[in-house]
């Protein structure tokens, strides 16, 4: 209906306009207006009764359908062209295969699929739409300030900002289409648009590395697209329908293989093992891309699909295998995050890990698990986005992505560092959101497959380590530093403060989010719902108050302590942070975090994680087939 | 208030000692003498210590270290010079590299004679130091609570 | 006894009990070493002395973190004795410990830094097991709530022998005793000078000590929970475990952190997780 159409088309239109705007001033206006409008519409959507049916949408469906087919052909041809130009056999092969499958389907097998309900909006769609609109919108605003600095510091990269912003908004529109679509063909179309946007944005800097990583992303997502196409064909052949809701509500035997294939597609999009390499490689792109596509929204599309499949796969061997793959991803990615000092890589691994946790919840598939998974999506989107945006600002000031370079950042960039600390606390610390979600996931798991808790407990311990050592690095006071005069530009600060506020609000209001958005969905699908319990909510509230007293009452702290030198064996030199070494030579104190390279090797983890997951995936598809 | 006398924590530093006094000091911790009965703990950290136990005479290298450690100790604190060398330079007093006893650098409160000082004498010195600690604490309180005391605050810092 | 009374009792009595346990610890260790040892009340004298010492700091705000460490540790224990959800208790404990580690990071001196890093590795080592303990208790008793587990007539320990042993293994780490007193060592021993507590003194050090007492009583309470059906047995087992940890402390030398992490995870994966697997297959 109208709202859905607006949300899909307006960002695309804005993108088209932005493609031709070279003036930064006009760009700001278009971006801000569009973002505000989209946020307003999305929020208003949240208040409408669900699920929305699409009465009044009967017209033009036929034409839209052919428009979509045209678009698909266009994308397919472009993929083949890229694959040919870059000599990538896989891209060509996958693109061709998908083209053949969908082409055969559209023109041979299913020539009259018009009796379908193409759009279905329920609370889960609205949740995803809110994330896309608000978080995504915030990132677009941030990108205005960020790209202005980026263009100045990266003079060797061509200024292709019109294309950049156009792609951001086209992507936003495609995401809206993705979460509202009920016709699987339409879903696939928007899915492929997001793949294309990701490919173009990763390759933005057009360096060799960027082009290579963009191809990797393209190829892996194409594999997912192929699986998606096969799922559509199979389901139609079994039941004559291409509707998502029909798949979710159909009987097990019919839906299991399509559901497994869709989970496969979701796993490629969400960079689960063995497909994690593309997300790590995607970090070469500018930070807004990493934040928008590769942590908050696009990768959420993959786990959104897996969560949709949850009612179908719950209680089956396929579901268990999906959950194990998700759990394995969570564990391996968390361990790998310990080993790297590169900030964006740590964030990427953490993203992969948390998506693995959502996949685990989807595979378990009970009402409690899906509740936990939805919560995870919400909190992760907000916190991780905040972290990426802060890291982007830090990178501009320090000209480095190394965590070790961020020593004492709380003195140099106080506000940004504080927001980073809040973001990191939001990722793993009680009483913040991700912890609540992890708690919910644990509870869902113990009631169904307690063995899965293995992944959660060991992975969770690993997350504790790498986040806290980063937090410690930020507050470290080994060398005195002066604060930078102007930390962030206006656009960036709007986004950052908004997201910090959102982190708090999401935690504080999570019972409201749960009861208004998530629980109705769960109740609708499973007939019962999950919640944390009144007493626990109160305790979490108390804890949040206590924890927040820390930054808030800093001003009240009486600083009556006598300042002395740190203990350096009595050999302190005149300046702070130095000592007298051999022969009276003054040495600087250097402090370097542990990366446990002798215990967890990133390469080893990646290899074994990929192989184990690949084996599990093969088993999954085999089991679904039989 | 109780506590200061019952829990003397020591930091033990060897300025340029031949280790004779050091061995005797550490012997106090052994079952034969067991100073832990008195609550004594050999903490190697000046910030945790009440009593600064120095052996050996002061040479160039140990001059700054003694000052540094003494400065990092929180009040109330006492310094004990253990052995002849720490007290006055001992037989090395006239050497070109020796400044003298520990009292040439920091104010020493207790002198434990001997070469090497016996564990019984060292323990005796520590016990005498306990009385001094209490006395010093009392004086510090007087100064702090007096109307003419200057209040100092630490410089501003970040989270 | 209702929950609020238990909480108040914990807040008031835990430092006293914790301090006494610490005093007994030093006394028994001394006797094992053919010494006499300090008086039982020694930990209290130590804390009283520390409260009277001058307040030092390397970074102006480092001591402020410790206030929150103490507050959240009390909160954790209060949650536990008030009968709350075990998982929430574990997560609150983690948050408290993070403040402690961050305080040491804040200082930025080498000893406190390595102490903090090792503290994190210790936390990484024991965290899986204590969460698995909570999960094991849930599987044995169908509830996460402490007061419900305590009120049952069957002992969780009977269904959770592996989990119990794994938990006791983790207690050697949590009590900061050899062979795993890596981040800091208590009283008679030194590790990295004083490791994580190196740059704290006076009032702040006293707060850290008191927080450790609260933690000790909380952990003893958890051991008691395994045998809660019979209170006498529960208290006896808690004291026995504490005595066992003291024995291990005096017998073993300190191991490397790599060994600590590897052995803890191995014990967790075999004893703890094995127990969970058997329980889940049984159901």
| DSSP H or E segment with residue A576 | none
> What integer pLDDT is reported at residue A111 of this predicted model?
60
Distance from CA of B42 to the nearest CA of C (A): 7
Tokens of C233: 């047995």
The tally of domains found in chain B comes to: 1
B154 belongs to a structural domain: no
Tell which wins on pLDDT, C56 or A478. C56
Closest in C37, C49, C198 to B36, CB measured? C37
Rounded percentage of chain A residues whose pLDDT exceeds 70: 96
Nearest residue of chain C to residue B33 (CA atoms): C35
Could you tell me the pLDDT band of residue C188, with boundaries at 50, 70 and 90? Answer: confident
DSSP code at position C270 = I
Tell which wins on pLDDT, A112 or C38. C38
Give the integer Cα–Cα distance in Å for C68 and B101: 45
Nearest residue of chain C to residue A436 (CA atoms): C88
C276 touches chain A (CB under 8 A): yes
> What integer pLDDT is reported at residue C65 of this predicted model?
92
Nearest residue of chain A to residue C144 (CA atoms): A443
Write out chain C residues lying below 8 Å of B42, CB-based. Answer: 188
Burial of B40 (0-12, 13-18, 19+ CB in 10 A): buried
* A562/B71 touch (CB, cutoff 8 Å), yes or no: no
> What integer pLDDT is reported at residue A56 of this predicted model?
46
Dihedral angle, C-alpha B29, B31, B37, B42, nearest 10 °: 20
What 3-state DSSP class applies to A119? strand
* B159/A570 touch (CB, cutoff 8 Å), yes or no: no
Mean pLDDT, chain A, rounded, equals 87
B63 belongs to a structural domain: yes
* C106/A431 touch (CB, cutoff 8 Å), yes or no: no
In total, chain A counts a number of residues equal to 626
Tokens of A471: 């937090």
* B47/A567 touch (CB, cutoff 8 Å), yes or no: yes
Residues of C in CB contact (< 8 Å) with B are: 26, 30, 33-39, 42, 44-57, 59-61, 187-188, 190, 193-194, 197-202, 205
Give the integer Cα–Cα distance in Å for A612 and B3: 60
Q: Is the pLDDT of residue C80 over 70?
A: yes
Residue burial A447-468, b: 16+ Cβ < 10 Å; e: rest:
bbbbbbbbbbbbbbbbbbbbbb
B117 belongs to a structural domain: yes
Tokens of B45: 């950290």
> What integer pLDDT is reported at residue B151 of this predicted model?
57
| Chain C residues 139-178 with CB within 8 Å of chain A | 139, 144
Structural domain that includes position B141: 9-145
Distance from CA of A95 to the nearest CA of B (A): 53
**What's the mean pLDDT in A156-169?**
89
Interior CA angle at A560 toward A559 and A565, to 5°?
A: 90
Nearest residue of chain A to residue C269 (CA atoms): A454
* A570/B13 touch (CB, cutoff 8 Å), yes or no: yes
A509 belongs to a structural domain: no
Closest in B44, B45, B74 to C54, CB measured? B74
B159 belongs to a structural domain: no
Distance from CA of B132 to the nearest CA of A (A): 23
B134 belongs to a structural domain: yes
Give the integer Cα–Cα distance in Å for B92 and B99: 10
Of the candidates C72, C101, C112, C102, the residue with the CA atom closest to the CA atom of residue C201: C112
| Chain C residues 33-72 with CB within 8 Å of chain A | 54-65, 68, 71-72
Q: Which residues pair with A241 in a beta bridge?
A: none
In this complex, the chains that touch C, judged by 3 or more CB pairs closer than 8 A, are A, B
Structural domain that includes position A275: 1-313
Are residues A369 and A448 in contact, defined by beta-carbon separation less than 8 angstroms? Answer: yes
pLDDT in tens, A290-327: 898 888 889 999 999 999 999 999 888 899 999 999 99
pLDDT in tens, A273-295: 899 999 999 999 999 998 988 88
Are residues A500 and A386 in contact, defined by beta-carbon separation less than 8 angstroms? Answer: yes
* A563/B45 touch (CB, cutoff 8 Å), yes or no: no
Q: Is the pLDDT of residue A533 over 80?
A: no
pLDDT in tens, A212-246: 999 999 999 999 999 999 999 888 888 878 888 88
* C26/B36 touch (CB, cutoff 8 Å), yes or no: yes
* B48/C46 touch (CB, cutoff 8 Å), yes or no: no
Q: Which residues pair with A342 in a beta bridge?
A: A402
Are residues C63 and C54 in contact, defined by beta-carbon separation less than 8 angstroms? Answer: no
Whether the upstream peptide bond of residue B116 has omega within 30° of 0, thus cis, is yes
**């294939």: which residue's tokens?**
A261
Burial of B97 (0-12, 13-18, 19+ CB in 10 A): exposed
Give the start-to-end residue ranges of the domains of chain C: 3-282
B64 belongs to a structural domain: yes
Give the integer Cα–Cα distance in Å for A177 and A5: 8
* C42/B6 touch (CB, cutoff 8 Å), yes or no: yes
Could you tell me the pLDDT band of residue A62, with boundaries at 50, 70 and 90? Answer: low
A557 touches chain B (CB under 8 A): no
* C46/B3 touch (CB, cutoff 8 Å), yes or no: yes
Could you tell me the pLDDT band of residue C204, with boundaries at 50, 70 and 90? Answer: very high
Tell which wins on pLDDT, A78 or C223. C223
Write out chain C residues lying below 8 Å of B137, CB-based. Answer: 52
* A561/C85 touch (CB, cutoff 8 Å), yes or no: no
Closest in C58, C71, C128 to A457, CB measured? C128
Which of A422, A559, A570, A582 is the best mutation test for B, with the most CBs of B within 10 A?
A570
Tokens of C208: 């850290």
Q: What is the ipTM of this complex?
A: 0.95
Give the number of other Cβ atoms within 10 Å of residue B139's Cβ.
Answer: 12
Q: How far apart are the first and last CA of chain C?
A: 33
CATH number for B52 = 3.40.50.12280
Beta strand pairing status for B98-100 and C56-57? Answer: unpaired
Whether the upstream peptide bond of residue A278 has omega within 30° of 0, thus cis, is no
pLDDT in tens, A465-479: 999 999 999 999 878
Q: Is the pLDDT of residue A59 over 50?
A: no
C3 touches chain A (CB under 8 A): no
The tally of domains found in chain A comes to: 1
Interior CA angle at A184 toward A183 and A189, to 5°?
A: 100
A567 touches chain B (CB under 8 A): yes
Tokens of B33: 């003498």
> What integer pLDDT is reported at residue A502 of this predicted model?
86
| DSSP H or E segment with residue A340 | none
Tokens of A281: 């490689």
Nearest residue of chain B to residue C43 (CA atoms): B7
pLDDT in tens, A330-375: 999 999 999 999 999 999 999 999 999 999 999 999 999 999 999 9
Write out chain B residues lying below 8 Å of C32, CB-based. Answer: none
Are residues C120 and A469 in contact, defined by beta-carbon separation less than 8 angstroms? Answer: yes
In this complex, the chains that touch B, judged by 3 or more CB pairs closer than 8 A, are A, C
Q: Is the pLDDT of residue C205 over 80?
A: yes
> What integer pLDDT is reported at residue C232 of this predicted model?
94
**What's the mean pLDDT in A182-209?**
91
Distance from CA of A329 to the nearest CA of C (A): 17
* C132/A457 touch (CB, cutoff 8 Å), yes or no: yes
Closest in A450, A536, A568 to C135, CB measured? A450
Residues 6+ apart with CB under 8 A from A251: none
Nearest residue of chain B to residue A477 (CA atoms): B158
Beta strand pairing status for A562-563 and C56-57? Answer: parallel
Q: What would the 3-class secondary structure string for A547-564 be?
A: HHHHHHCHHHCCCCCEEC
Q: Is the pLDDT of residue A179 over 70?
A: yes
Residues 6+ apart with CB under 8 A from A54: A1, A4, A117, A118, A119, A120
Give the integer Cα–Cα distance in Å for B25 and B30: 10
Are residues A321 and A623 in contact, defined by beta-carbon separation less than 8 angstroms? Answer: yes
Q: How far is CA A126 from CA A42, A50, A378, in A?
A: 8, 9, 12
Of the candidates A526, A528, A531, A517, the residue with the CA atom closest to the CA atom of residue A121: A517
Are residues B159 and B43 in contact, defined by beta-carbon separation less than 8 angstroms? Answer: no
Write out chain A residues lying below 8 Å of C199, CB-based. Answer: 566-567
Tokens of A193: 């648009």
**């769960």: which residue's tokens?**
A522
Q: How far is CA A426 from CA A53, A290, C237, in A?
A: 36, 19, 38
Write out chain B residues lying below 8 Å of C61, CB-based. Answer: 157-159
**What's the mean pLDDT in C6-32?**
95
Give the integer Cα–Cα distance in Å for C125 and C67: 25
Q: What predicted TM-score, i.e. pTM, was given to this entire model?
A: 0.94
pLDDT in tens, A108-156: 766 656 556 778 888 899 999 999 999 999 999 999 989 988 988 888 8
**What's the mean pLDDT in A594-607?**
88
Which of B13, B46, B68 is the best mutation test for A, with the most CBs of A within 10 A?
B68
**What's the mean pLDDT in C120-139?**
95
Question: Which pLDDT tens digits describe chain B residue by residue (159 residues)?
Answer: 778 889 999 999 999 999 999 999 999 989 999 999 999 999 989 999 999 999 999 998 899 999 999 999 998 999 999 999 999 999 999 999 999 999 999 999 999 999 989 999 999 999 999 999 999 988 988 888 887 766 555 455 555
**What's the mean pLDDT in A38-46?**
88
Write out chain B residues lying below 8 Å of A571, CB-based. Answer: 64-65, 68
* B158/A410 touch (CB, cutoff 8 Å), yes or no: yes
> What integer pLDDT is reported at residue A154 of this predicted model?
85
């Amino acid at each position: 209906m109208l709202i859905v159409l607006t949300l899909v088309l307006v960002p695309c239109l804005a993108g088209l306009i932005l493609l031709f705007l070279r003036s930064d001033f006009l760009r700001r206006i278009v971006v801000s207006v569009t973002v505000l409008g989209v946020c307003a519409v999305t929020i208003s959507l949240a208040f409408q009764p669900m699920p929305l049916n699409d009465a009044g949408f009967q017209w033009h469906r036929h034409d839209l359908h052919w428009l979509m087919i045209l678009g698909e052909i266009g994308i397919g041809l472009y993929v083949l062209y890229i694959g040919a130009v870059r000599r990538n056999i896989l891209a060509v092969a996958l693109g061709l295969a998908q083209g053949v499958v969908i082409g055969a389907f559209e023109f041979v097998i299913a020539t009259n699929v018009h009796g379908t309900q193409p759009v279905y909006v329920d609370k889960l769609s609205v949740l995803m739409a809110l994330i896309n609109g608000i978080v995504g919108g915030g990132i677009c605003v941030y990108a205005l300030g960020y790209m202005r600095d980026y263009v100045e510091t990266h003079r060797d990269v061509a200024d292709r900002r019109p294309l950049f912003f156009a792609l951001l908004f086209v992507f936003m529109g495609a995401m809206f289409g993705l979460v509202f679509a009920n016709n699987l063909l339409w879903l696939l179309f928007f899915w492929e648009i997001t793949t294309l946007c990701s490919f173009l944005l990763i390759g933005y800097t057009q360096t060799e590395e960027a082009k290579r990583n963009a191809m990797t992303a393209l190829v892996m997502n194409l594999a997912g697209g192929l699986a998606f196409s096969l799922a559509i064909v199979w389901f139609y052949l079994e039941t004559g329908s291409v509707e998502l809701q029909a798949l979710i509500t159909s009987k097990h035997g019919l839906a299991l293989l399509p559901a497994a294939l869709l989970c496969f597609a979701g796993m490629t999009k969400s960079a689960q093992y063995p497909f994690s390499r593309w997300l790590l490689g995607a970090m070469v792109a500018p930070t807004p891309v990493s934040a928008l596509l590769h942590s908050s929204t696009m990768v959420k599309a993959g786990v959104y699909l897996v969560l949709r499949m949850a009612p179908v796969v719950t209680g089956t061997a396929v579901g268990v295998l999906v959950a194990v793959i998700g759990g394995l991803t969570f564990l391996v990615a968390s361990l790998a995050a310990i080993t790297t000092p590169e900030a964006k890589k740590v964030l990427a691994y953490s993203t992969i890990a948390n998506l693995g946790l959502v996949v685990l919840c989807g595979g378990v598939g009970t009402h409690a698990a899906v509740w936990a998974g939805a919560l995870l999506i919400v909190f992760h989107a907000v916190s991780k986005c905040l972290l990426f945006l802060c890291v982007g600002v830090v990178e501009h000031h320090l000209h480095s992505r190394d965590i070790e370079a961020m020593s004492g950042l709380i003195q140099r960039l106080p506000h940004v560092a504080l927001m980073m600390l809040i973001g990191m606390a939001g990722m793993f610390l009680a009483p913040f959101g991700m912890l609540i979600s992890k708690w919910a996931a644990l509870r869902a798991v113990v009631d169904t497959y307690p063995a899965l808790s293995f992944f959660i407990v060991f992975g969770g311990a690993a997350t504790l380590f790498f986040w806290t050592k980063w937090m410690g690095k930020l507050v470290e006071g080994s060398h005195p530093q002066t604060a930078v005069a102007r930390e962030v530009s206006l656009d960036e600060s709007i986004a950052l403060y908004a997201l910090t506020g959102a982190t708090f609000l999401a935690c504080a209001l999570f019972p409201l989010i749960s009861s208004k958005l998530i629980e109705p969905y769960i109740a609708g699908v499973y007939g019962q719902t999950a919640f944390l319990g009144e007493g626990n909510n109160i305790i979490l509230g108390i804890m949040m108050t206590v924890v927040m007293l820390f930054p808030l009452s800093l001003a009240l702290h009486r600083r009556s302590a006598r300042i002395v030198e740190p203990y350096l064996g009595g050999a302190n030199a005149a300046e702070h942070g130095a000592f007298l070494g051999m022969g009276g030579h003054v040495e600087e104190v250097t402090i370097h975090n542990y990366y446990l390279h002798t215990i967890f090797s990133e390469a080893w983890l990646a290899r074994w994680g990929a192989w184990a997951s690949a084996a599990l995936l093969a088993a999954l598809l085999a089991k679904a087939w039989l | 208030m109780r506590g200061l006398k019952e829990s003397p924590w020591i930091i033990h530093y060897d300025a340029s000692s031949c280790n004779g006094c050091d061995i005797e000091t550490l012997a106090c911790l052994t079952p034969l003498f067991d100073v832990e009965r008195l609550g004594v703990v050999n903490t190697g950290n000046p910030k945790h210590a009440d009593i600064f136990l120095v052996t050996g005479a002061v040479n160039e290298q140990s001059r700054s270290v003694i000052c540094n450690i003494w400065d990092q100790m929180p009040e109330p604190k006492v310094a004990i010079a253990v052995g002849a060398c720490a007290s006055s330079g001992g037989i090395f007093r006239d050497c070109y590299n020796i400044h003298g006893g520990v009292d040439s650098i920091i104010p020493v409160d207790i002198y434990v004679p001997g070469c090497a000082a016996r564990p019984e004498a060292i323990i005796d010195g520590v016990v005498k130091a306990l009385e001094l600690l209490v006395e010093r604490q009392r004086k510090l309180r007087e100064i702090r609570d007096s109307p003419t005391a200057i209040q100092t605050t630490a410089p501003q810092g970040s989270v | 006894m209702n929950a609020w009374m238990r909480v108040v009792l914990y807040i008031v009595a835990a430092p006293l009990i914790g301090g006494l346990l610490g005093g007994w610890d030093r006394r028994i260790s001394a006797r094992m070493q053919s010494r006499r040892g300090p008086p039982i009340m020694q930990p209290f004298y130590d804390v009283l002395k520390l409260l009277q010492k001058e307040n030092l700091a390397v970074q102006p705000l480092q001591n402020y973190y410790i206030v929150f460490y103490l507050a959240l540790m009390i909160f954790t224990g209060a949650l536990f004795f008030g009968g709350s959800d075990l998982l929430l208790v574990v997560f609150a404990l983690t948050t408290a410990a993070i403040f402690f580690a961050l305080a040491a990071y804040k200082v930025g001196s080498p000893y406190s830094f390595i102490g903090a890093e090792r503290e994190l590795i210790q936390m990484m080592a024991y965290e899986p097991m204590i969460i698995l303990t909570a999960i094991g208790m849930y599987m044995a008793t169908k509830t996460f709530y402490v007061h419900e587990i305590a009120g049952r007539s069957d002992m969780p320990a009977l269904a959770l022998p592996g989990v119990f042993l794994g938990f006791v293994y983790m207690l050697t780490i949590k009590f900061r005793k050899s062979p795993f007193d890596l981040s800091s060592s208590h009283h008679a021993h030194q590790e990295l000078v004083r490791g994580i507590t190196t740059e704290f003194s006076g009032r702040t050090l006293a707060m850290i000590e008191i927080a450790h007492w609260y933690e000790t009583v909380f952990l003893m309470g958890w051991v008691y929970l395994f045998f809660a059906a019979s209170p006498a047995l529960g208290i006896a087992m808690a004291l026995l475990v504490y005595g066992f940890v003291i024995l291990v402390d005096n017998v073993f030398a300190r191991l490397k952190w790599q060994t600590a992490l590897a052995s803890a995870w191995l014990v967790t994966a075999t004893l703890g997780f094995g127990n969970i697997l058997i329980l889940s297959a049984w159901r």
